[in-house]
Structure 1
Amino acid sequence: MSSDMPPVAKKVPAERTHHGDTVIDEYAWMTSKEDPDTVAYLEAENAYTQARTEHLRGLQEEIFQEIKGRTLETDLSVPTRKGGWWYYSRTAEGKQYGIQCRLEATGDTPPELKPGEALPGERVILDGNELAGDSPFFAVGTSAVCPDGTVLAYSTDFSGNERFTLRFKRLETGEMLTDEIPGIFYGGAWAADGSAFFYTTIDEAWRPYRVYRHIIGTPAEDDVLVYEETDERFWVGVGLTRSERYLVLSAGSKITSEVRVLDAEYPTGEFRVVRPRKTGVEYSIDHAGDRFLILHNEGAQNFEIAGAPVDDPAAWTPLIPHRDDTRLLDVDAFSDHTVVHFRRDGLTGIRVLPTDGEPYEISFPEPIHSAEPAGNPEFHTNRLRLAYTSMVTPPSVYDYDLTDHELILLKRRPVLGGYDPEDYEQFRGWATADDGTRIPISIVTKKGTERPAPTVLYGYGSYETSIDPSFSVARLSLLDRGFVFAIAHVRGGGEMGRQWYEQGKLGHKKNTFSDFVATARHMKKSGWSRDIIARGGSAGGLLMGAATNLAPEAFTGVVAEVPFVDALNTILDPSLPLTVIEWDEWGDPLHNADVYDYMKSYTPYENVDDRVYPPILALTSLNDTRVLYHEPAKWIARLRSTARGGPFLLKTEMGAGHGGRSGRYDAWREEAFTLSWIIDRAVSRKNEETGETQ
């Protein structure tokens, strides 16, 4: 078949019956990754997409060069003090991956580092470029230096399937220890004396469910299983309190938590439960002196903070009460103060509680922003490291002086090519949902942009994940071409508190989709937007499919990245990765007929019909373990056979995972490809309306 003709997927009727409902899924054969027909189909789709976008090759290269030209390719992070060392990472021009380094600390002030210049005494602890070699994919899952700074534990993945191999390296000599442990998950934690490292492994459904203790210098087969979670709804993880006094073993589902602790000085001891799990109660802990700080939602929808004695951790005493207007996100304990990260009115904030003194909130210069604590490994300090950004301000690192109450800018990510934030402006808008709920919108555009303008409308709306206003170098290539960029903060996310999430999950999930459509219509009605290209990924990809089924006429184009568009079939199959865990988010259609009917009424794959759909670009990865490649493949096949309009394009990375290609230059090229398609859609639509030809 010619690559300029769309592939025609074969139809192999596969029957399934649930709750008396019999459904024929003619594309179920695509779930077999080892089937040569599946690979051939994906390759044919790639060839077709390449042919349909060949005319954009010049624009793709132009945008890639813009992203590259605005990026300081040889750069470094602000050093962070940990023990006797300053730790930082740097990038080098022409290199795909970061390089982790450290310098011996000789004072309390971070050393002044200049991009491209290695200071005397700099020691490379992990070079991603050397480790990656010629592999088309590379990722680091764990990177943790032991408490005395002598040994690095790190793990690597060369396929994108998020199964890592753990190794250990002596930092003084560069010697690799013989210890090697395959098949682990993200994260891990050291014992206080560096004699043991705790890590997690995953089951066949890609669920982290076991925690092991590895004694340095012993064979992996001798590692001791310290915990196994048998409830398939729960994930486990292991880490340390900020004080590094306690190892923390957490088990959690979407709605319930259970935490165990162990004195890090006694790694062969037994973990003890802080408080036994109770359905619907989520909690996390940190350690401060003779007590634990507990962030929890028992009787507190937006969470509150309690204290509990170390020797009686189940005895919770309220410290910071619940507020209806403020969602507490995290709590960090320091030697002389406590820091609370919160969300209010759709924005994040930081509250400081001194041990001696009145609590206060840190003020930030812009009305629309994102701020969070970041890079604070030291327990004894009078400074708080913060990360800050807005839609016009590049990512910035501040130290907040807790004595002088002063924000000290340490670094703002350089944007080359003469970027001036004063040339751009950001706004907060509000759409009205079908039920009258006000939906916040974050908007950015270049000053002087003629309105109505072509608009990219981004959305997510699941798992209480908030898409906070932030800066993007790549986005400038849209704004400088007269685009508006907007984020629809739809229900199902966490932007407006826990209730915002609960109004967009389970039996309220359709609010997420109708909110997005309402936002698109508001953007046009209010004069912001001419043509709207919708964009979202993963669960946001489900949003793209569902919103397009709901109102295909509202969008000029749709970009769906690793989209969860075959949600019902996936959630019906408990053998697939992550399915059982997801039942608390979407419902359990396998055992509940009402949930089955409700999901079937909105999932994108089931609801494609004979209407005119906008052009759609679906992007996926063959090794994705979170949203399997066959979901967008089946969706595109059904769109092409059932719907009108389009074209419907599928692009599959044949050697990557959920996050796409791993190297930064590769990622820039992929983004340039997507942005060129978006720009072309707006130009094509304008030409269609005016009768012009390109």
Structure 2
Amino acid sequence: MSEQMSEVTQPSIHTPPRPAQRPVTSTYHGDERVDEYAWLRDKDDPDVITHLEAENAYTDSMLAHLGGLREELYAEYRSRTQETDEQVPYPDGAWEYVSRTVEGKQYSIYSRRPLGGGDEQTVLDPNQLAEGLDYFSLGAFAVSPTGNLLAYATDTDGSERLHLYVKDLRTGELLPDTIDNCGYGAAWSADEQYVFYTTVDENTRPYKLWRHKLGTDPSADVLLHTEDDEAYFMSVRRTRSRAWLVMSLGASITSEVRVLPADDPEGEWQLVAPRRTGVEYFVDHHGDRFLIVTNDEGPDFRVAQAPVTAPGPENWTDLIPHTPGVRIEGIDPFASQLVVSLRAEGRTELDVLEVSSGERRRLAFDEPIYAVGLGINREFDTSVVRVEYTSMTTPPSTIDVDLVSDARDIRKVQPVLGVDLSQYESARLWATASDGTRIPMSFVWRKDRVQGGPAVLYGYGSYEISYDPSFSTERLSLLDRGVAFGIAHIRGGGEMGRAWYEHGKKLEKVNSFTDFVACAEQLVKDGWTTPSQLAIRGGSAGGLLMGAVLNLRPDLFAGVLAQVPFVDALNTMLDPTLPLTVREWDEWGNPIEDPETYAAMKAYAPYENVAKGDYPRVLATGGLNDPRVGFWEPAKWVARLRDRLTGGGPILLKTELGAGHAGPSGRYNRWKDEALNQGFLLDAIGVVRSDG
């Protein structure tokens, strides 16, 4: 088999790799299916790695003509970026903390200085930690209550299995307390003698909560809770008031929370409310009450309150009642005000609730479409909060808002060097879906763009995740070449409230795909672009979207960029041994048990529905260490697309062999990766030169 693989996979870097077919037959609900590329799942099979390497070589050869364009794009990203820069410092206890970037360094450096003045000290420099590594990411950054200690976690291969460390910030020394196989996040007890953390199972699911006493061997750590239901992920954090620790267990549509006073680390965790299928709730603390954001009385959530001494649901009373169409996403308590994050009429909004009077008002902003949310706010007893604001034409802006007077101090607007931002314009566009639903799009372009020119349309549409209209420095390289850029806010996302999500999941998942097609058709109908100049882009579940719409309308697009695409959705949901399958049955349905779900997924899953025909140019990406979307999904999909391609293409695959779901780490590596992506898109729509 290996000899045959070598013959078909690596005859020439200019010839598409042709992996061998090893048919595997399976039968569900009386339906027999054949998967000729199932063997590509085996990461330990040398033939699999050989094939991925051959695919990378072929992609490099097919995109070699874009080398100059990619260098030009990379240079543009750098030229617009103030590479040595720092974020606005934020107070936390006796210190103010700041992160900064330094020209030539891949990662932000974290520092602090005393609030009353004094020398700055480096808290953590990931550039040093990442030396000699192909990949690096931080998964926890928790400063202890006095500011003396830092618990941080690192991922060095993209697998999302973290290594937890404790650093003494007074001396700069690492303590011997090192723990492996951790999940994201960590939380300190009030006396900072204990660190609470989670560990992951073989499928990278955080499922055990531990208590570690500083200075002891981790083998003696106390196991506090084990979650056996594979649908639930575990996390641990501290409330904004710092008075309580919160352990959250969450499935896709169901929550369960336990709390513990931070000054009683060896105490017993208290259950707030037992899990009830379909009921989600999130807990924070304010004075003698817990604040609970929950959908127990309506899909768009309400804010309830309950005494800390009796937090059960029988004691939940309305603070902000459920209002249909106004999706409450969270509440952040401060001493005298509460800040509510919500969505209304397709926009993110912030409401301020006065604790003493109950008065509620909304923070107003001038632009018609924007994205706003709370920034880093570590202090509880303050009336000045940090807000982060952006739009498709306004760079990320850090604003300190006085919650009493509404006075605003714009602390920083992200520098964009050498660019006149008044050249760009954005708008909210609308398309009409096949069932009559109006679908919003956020659209941005340069004002001198030729009408009917090239465009890129982005989409996601799953998990109630919203892709709000925000600024991108890298995107300017598209706009300056006359390319308009749009985001299709399709059903399955959360932009228009919980119902928007509900009508784009499970048996109604096809709405996400037909919504996106309707958006693309509307752009063509309204003269914004033409099919020969329209490229589309999406990643992860948005990659599923790319594969599905490619099957539906291959004639509508000139190019498709599918990043870590979830294109083998049916096979993945039929395999409960994979990391996310059991949890995600709430999102997609369970095709093992439910014949209707099986039929629906088989009808739309991209890998299942590749037909013989002409296809536009396709670039799919993957990560060998990806625990979320298996690297084999894009590999199998590309192989089947090539098998059934009668014209068009090429169909390309690029796999990061040392990274995971997020792709390369480090800002310069990410810029190079984005230059490859944009180069592919510009080439597909016939735009390969700068406008000068």
Would the TM-score normalized by the shorter structure come out above 0.5? yes
Matched residues in 2 for 1:68 and 1:664: separation? 10
The residue aligned with 1:541 is 543
Given that 2:543 and 2:563 are in contact with CA atoms closer than 8 Å, whether structure 1 keeps it comes out as yes
Question: Which secondary structure state, in structure 1, belongs to the residue aligned with residue 176 of structure 2?
Answer: strand
The residue aligned with 1:115 is none
Matched residues in 1 for 2:106 and 2:678: separation? 21
The residue aligned with 1:359 is 360
The one-letter code sitting in structure 2 at the alignment partner of 1:582 is: E
Q: Quick check: 1:162 aligned with 2:181?
A: no
Given that 1:150 and 1:170 are in contact with CA atoms closer than 8 Å, whether structure 2 keeps it comes out as yes
Q: Offset at 1:420?
A: 2.2
Matched residues in 2 for 1:684 and 1:11: separation? 37
Given that 1:617 and 1:649 are in contact with CA atoms closer than 8 Å, whether structure 2 keeps it comes out as yes
The one-letter code sitting in structure 1 at the alignment partner of 2:529 is: S
Matched residues in 2 for 1:648 and 1:146: separation? 51
The residue aligned with 1:629 is 631
The residue aligned with 2:685 is 682
The residue aligned with 2:322 is 322
Q: Deviation string for 1:105-157 (max 9, x for gaps)?
A: 018xxxxxxxxxxxx61100100000001111011111111001000001111
Q: Quick check: 1:552 aligned with 2:554?
A: yes
Q: Offset at 1:684?
A: 7.2
Matched residues in 2 for 1:407 and 1:183: separation? 43
Q: Offset at 1:685?
A: 11
Matched residues in 2 for 1:360 and 1:685: separation? 49
Q: Offset at 1:453?
A: 1.5
The residue aligned with 1:111 is none
Question: Which secondary structure state, in structure 2, belongs to the residue aligned with residue 541 of structure 1?
Answer: helix
Q: Deviation string for 1:474-525 (max 9, x for gaps)?
A: 1000000000000000000000000000000001000000000000000110
Q: Offset at 1:356?
A: 2.6
Query: Following superposition of structure 1 onto structure 2, how do residues 236-635 of structure 1 map, counting pairs within 5 Å?
Result: 236-314=234-312, 315-357=315-357, 358-417=359-418, 419-530=419-530, 531-635=533-637
Q: Offset at 1:611?
A: 1.7
The residue aligned with 2:215 is 217
Matched residues in 1 for 2:158 and 2:478: separation? 29
The one-letter code sitting in structure 2 at the alignment partner of 1:356 is: S
Given that 1:11 and 1:26 are in contact with CA atoms closer than 8 Å, whether structure 2 keeps it comes out as yes
Given that 1:556 and 1:685 are in contact with CA atoms closer than 8 Å, whether structure 2 keeps it comes out as no
Q: Offset at 1:369?
A: 0.4
The one-letter code sitting in structure 2 at the alignment partner of 1:491 is: R
Matched residues in 2 for 1:175 and 1:521: separation? 59
The residue aligned with 1:110 is none
Percent identity of equivalent pairs: 52
Given that 1:190 and 1:196 are in contact with CA atoms closer than 8 Å, whether structure 2 keeps it comes out as yes
Question: Which secondary structure state, in structure 2, belongs to the residue aligned with residue 60 of structure 1?
Answer: helix
The residue aligned with 1:128 is 126
The one-letter code sitting in structure 1 at the alignment partner of 2:662 is: G
Given that 2:562 and 2:620 are in contact with CA atoms closer than 8 Å, whether structure 1 keeps it comes out as yes
Query: Following superposition of structure 1 onto structure 2, how do residues 654-669 of structure 1 map, counting pairs within 5 Å?
Result: 654-669=657-672
Question: Which secondary structure state, in structure 2, belongs to the residue aligned with residue 386 of structure 1?
Answer: strand
The one-letter code sitting in structure 1 at the alignment partner of 2:105 is: K
Question: Which secondary structure state, in structure 2, belongs to the residue aligned with residue 178 of structure 1?
Answer: coil
Matched residues in 2 for 1:617 and 1:24: separation? 25
Matched residues in 2 for 1:307 and 1:599: separation? 40
Given that 2:279 and 2:295 are in contact with CA atoms closer than 8 Å, whether structure 1 keeps it comes out as yes
Specify whether residues 16 and 402 from structure 1 end up closer, same or farther in structure 2 by C-alpha distance, changes over 3 A only.
same
Specify whether residues 284 and 69 from structure 1 end up closer, same or farther in structure 2 by C-alpha distance, changes over 3 A only.
same
Given that 2:682 and 2:688 are in contact with CA atoms closer than 8 Å, whether structure 1 keeps it comes out as no
Question: Which secondary structure state, in structure 1, belongs to the residue aligned with residue 350 of structure 2?
Answer: strand
Question: Which secondary structure state, in structure 2, belongs to the residue aligned with residue 683 of structure 1?
Answer: coil
The one-letter code sitting in structure 2 at the alignment partner of 1:78 is: V
Matched residues in 1 for 2:321 and 2:505: separation? 26
Q: Deviation string for 1:309-328 (max 9, x for gaps)?
A: 11010110011011112100
Matched residues in 1 for 2:237 and 2:688: separation? 51
The one-letter code sitting in structure 2 at the alignment partner of 1:648 is: I
Matched residues in 2 for 1:325 and 1:494: separation? 11
Moved more, 631-640 or 68-77: 68-77
Q: 1:176 aligns with which of 153, 174, 180?
A: 174
Q: Offset at 1:612?
A: 1.2
The one-letter code sitting in structure 2 at the alignment partner of 1:173 is: T
Q: Offset at 1:381?
A: 0.4
The one-letter code sitting in structure 2 at the alignment partner of 1:296 is: T
Given that 1:12 and 1:27 are in contact with CA atoms closer than 8 Å, whether structure 2 keeps it comes out as yes
Matched residues in 1 for 2:68 and 2:280: separation? 51
The residue aligned with 1:74 is 84
Given that 2:203 and 2:627 are in contact with CA atoms closer than 8 Å, whether structure 1 keeps it comes out as no
Q: Deviation string for 1:605-652 (max 9, x for gaps)?
A: 000001211110001111111001000000000000013321100001
Matched residues in 2 for 1:407 and 1:464: separation? 31
The residue aligned with 1:150 is 148
The residue aligned with 1:65 is 75
Q: Deviation string for 1:42-64 (max 9, x for gaps)?
A: 01111110111110000000000
Matched residues in 2 for 1:66 and 1:661: separation? 19
Given that 1:199 and 1:211 are in contact with CA atoms closer than 8 Å, whether structure 2 keeps it comes out as yes
Moved more, 643-652 or 82-91: 643-652
The residue aligned with 1:670 is 673
TM-score, normalising length: structure 1: 0.96
Q: 1:650 aligns with which of 649, 653, 677?
A: 653
Matched residues in 2 for 1:554 and 1:220: separation? 57
Question: Which secondary structure state, in structure 2, belongs to the residue aligned with residue 360 of structure 1?
Answer: strand
Root mean square deviation, CA, Å: 1.1
Question: Which secondary structure state, in structure 1, belongs to the residue aligned with residue 343 of structure 2?
Answer: strand
Q: Offset at 1:403?
A: 2.6
The one-letter code sitting in structure 2 at the alignment partner of 1:193 is: D
Runs of 4+ deviating beyond 3 Å: none
Q: Quick check: 1:13 aligned with 2:23?
A: yes
The residue aligned with 2:7 is none
- Give the gaps of 5 or more residues in structure 2: 1-10
Matched residues in 2 for 1:547 and 1:346: separation? 24
Matched residues in 2 for 1:332 and 1:156: separation? 28
Q: Deviation string for 1:178-226 (max 9, x for gaps)?
A: 1110000111111011010100111112111111000010011001110
TM-score, normalising length: structure 2: 0.96
Specify whether residues 514 and 685 from structure 1 end up closer, same or farther in structure 2 by C-alpha distance, changes over 3 A only.
farther
Moved more, 603-612 or 677-686: 677-686
Matched residues in 2 for 1:136 and 1:206: separation? 21
- Give the gaps of 5 or more residues in structure 1: 108-119, 687-694
The residue aligned with 2:228 is 230
Question: Which secondary structure state, in structure 2, belongs to the residue aligned with residue 601 of structure 1?
Answer: helix
The one-letter code sitting in structure 1 at the alignment partner of 2:285 is: H
Question: Which secondary structure state, in structure 2, belongs to the residue aligned with residue 529 of structure 1?
Answer: coil
Q: Deviation string for 1:235-293 (max 9, x for gaps)?
A: 11111111010100111110110110000000011101111111110000111101011
Q: 2:103 aligns with which of 81, 93, 106?
A: 93
Matched residues in 2 for 1:286 and 1:598: separation? 39
Given that 1:608 and 1:643 are in contact with CA atoms closer than 8 Å, whether structure 2 keeps it comes out as no
The residue aligned with 2:189 is 191
